[in-house]
């Protein structure tokens, strides 16, 4: 189901909508956003076009920051005066696939059951996008003393690929914002740090031959197993060497091999084996330094294959390199989010990677705070609780109040 463009919902006559009105508006918008299948392998442009029309009906101009071939785009919009000190509300528009998952209802139709809103992307992270857009009518008519910048990205789920170009525009062309709120699911509490992620694709090319005549060929699978065994041993070492004082769970760097594909038949030496792995590291650790011995082994095995089969070899490609998000000392963004969310809890970090590290790398004080739990992300029957949308609506209402002129 792909919804047609619709106008912005009517806004209340009071200066700022009630939290209840904002929550209802957000749920209505979430229904529309979920109906767009923005799985990362697809374009997000239909959703972007809808958001552009929605904002235009409020008198808010927006700007695309597209990918190289124009099939996907980030979207930027500023509401309020063109001055420094504004707040960026950032989230990604893409979602993970539903292929093979046993959903109880259509993943692209928002379905409410027992106080939960089910649908792909409800918590990760269209719920936050819906809340930001639900606040837009109030922001557009308020007398703000600082602006709010909406920053919606593409391809976060496949390596945070879209955000860097968008962040560069914010840094180079907008009045300098004071802080960034990245609305990944945190149960509407402030998160001050996340691990970074580096992912790699390894392609081993051998030479096919009958499996009884191993001297005539090179099994790509057998070579790939040597490389994967090295990574397994490295992952075990990283676990042993993890800092016991680390605030993360798991505490240290983690390494997993997520995909393996090799060979065509049991009695044929495999011509090709491809595997993909990711390494997640806390701030202060350098992925390529950790993998130095692995890269050296890959070069050694590449030379051995070429000595027997010049057309073969080992190729290691970097798929993504998303920086970690380090806790800030007296961070302005965390202090802001805690105050607006009414959060007096302990300092928190998360093991997943997000775009917060990219914003921080560009010099912005950053915090993660959004509705829903990461426990529901990427799962069949993904959901966000209605109560989380209500808490998010209260957050947005207080944000409007905070930025409005007295």
Query: Active-site positions?
Result: 94, 156
Cα three-residue angle 281-224-242, rounded to 5 degrees: 25
| Three-class SS state of 61 | coil
Helix (H, G, I), strand (E, B) or coil at 387: helix
For residue 353, what are its two tokens?
Answer: 């990677």
Closest CA to 247 of 301, 194, 202, 315: 194
The answer to whether 91 and 132 have CB atoms below 8 angstroms apart is: yes
CA distances from 126 to 104, 134, 259, 371 (A): 20, 12, 27, 9
Round to whole Å and give the CA distance between 66 and 274.
30
Bond prior to 325 in cis (omega within 30° of 0): no
Give backbone dihedrals phi and psi of 244, rounded to 5 degrees, phi first: -65, -20
For residue 8, give both structure tokens: 């912005």
Q: Give the closest residue to 393 by CA, choosing from 373, 374, 368, 370.
A: 370
Task: Say which residues have a Cβ less than 8 Å from residue 43's Cβ, sequence separation at least 6.
Answer: 71, 72
Q: Residue 85 corresponds to which tokens in the numbers above? A: 């000190």
The CA distance from 150 to 203, in Å, is 39
Q: Is 245 exposed, middle or buried (0-12, 13-18, 19+ CB in 10 A)?
A: exposed
Please state, in angstroms and rounded to a whole number, the distance separating the CA atoms of residues 125 and 181. Answer: 13
Give residue for tokens 């990362």.
40
Instruction: Round the CA-based radius of gyration of the chain to a whole number and report it.
Output: 24
Q: What gap in Å lies between CA 313 and CA 304, rounded to an integer?
A: 8
Closest among 88, 129, 11, 23 to 391, alpha carbons compared = 23
Backbone angles phi, psi at 178, to 5 degrees: -80, -30
User: Mapping DSSP to helix (H, G, I), strand (E, B) and coil, where does residue 400 land?
Assistant: helix
């Amino acid at each position: 189901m792909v919804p047609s463009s619709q106008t912005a919902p009517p806004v209340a006559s009071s200066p700022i909508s009630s939290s209840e009105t904002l929550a209802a508006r957000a749920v209505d918008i979430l229904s529309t956003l979920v109906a767009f299948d923005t799985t990362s392998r697809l374009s997000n442009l239909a959703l972007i076009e809808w958001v552009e029309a929605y904002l235009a009906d409020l008198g808010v101009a927006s700007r695309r920051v597209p990918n190289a071939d124009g099939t996907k785009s980030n979207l930027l919009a500023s509401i309020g005066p063109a001055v420094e000190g504004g707040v960026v509300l950032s989230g990604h528009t893409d979602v993970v696939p539903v292929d093979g998952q046993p959903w109880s209802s259509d993943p692209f139709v928002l379905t409410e059951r027992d106080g939960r809103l089910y649908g792909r992307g409800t918590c990760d992270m269209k719920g936050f996008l819906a809340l930001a857009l639900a606040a837009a009518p109030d922001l557009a008519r308020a007398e703000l003393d600082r602006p709010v910048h909406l920053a919606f990205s593409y391809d976060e789920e496949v390596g945070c690929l879209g955000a860097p170009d968008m962040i560069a525009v914010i840094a180079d062309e907008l009045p300098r914002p004071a802080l960034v709120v990245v609305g990944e699911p945190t149960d509407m509490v402030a998160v001050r740090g996340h691990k970074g992620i580096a992912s790699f694709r390894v392609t081993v090319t051998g030479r096919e031959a009958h499996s009884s005549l191993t001297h005539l060929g090179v099994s790509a699978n057998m070579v790939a197993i040597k490389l994967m065994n090295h990574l397994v041993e490295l992952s075990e070492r990283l676990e042993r060497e993890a800092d016991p004082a680390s605030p993360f769970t798991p505490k240290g760097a983690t390494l997993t091999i997520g995909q393996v594909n090799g060979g065509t038949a049991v009695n044929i030496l495999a011509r090709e084996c491809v595997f993909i792995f990711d390494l997640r590291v806390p701030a202060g650790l350098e992925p390529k330094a950790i993998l130095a011995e692995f890269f050296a082994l890959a070069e050694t095995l590449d030379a051995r294959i070429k000595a027997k089969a010049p057309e073969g070899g080992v190729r290691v490609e970097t798929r993504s390199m998303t920086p970690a998000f380090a806790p800030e000392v007296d961070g302005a963004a965390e202090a802001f989010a805690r105050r607006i969310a009414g959060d007096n809890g302990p300092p928190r970090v998360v093991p997943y990677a997000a775009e917060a590290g990219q914003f921080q790398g560009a010099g912005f004080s950053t915090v993660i705070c959004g509705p829903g739990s990461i426990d529901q992300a990427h799962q069949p029957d993904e959901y966000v609780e209605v109560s989380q949308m209500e808490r998010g609506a209260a957050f947005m209402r207080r944000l409007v109040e905070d930025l409005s002129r007295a």
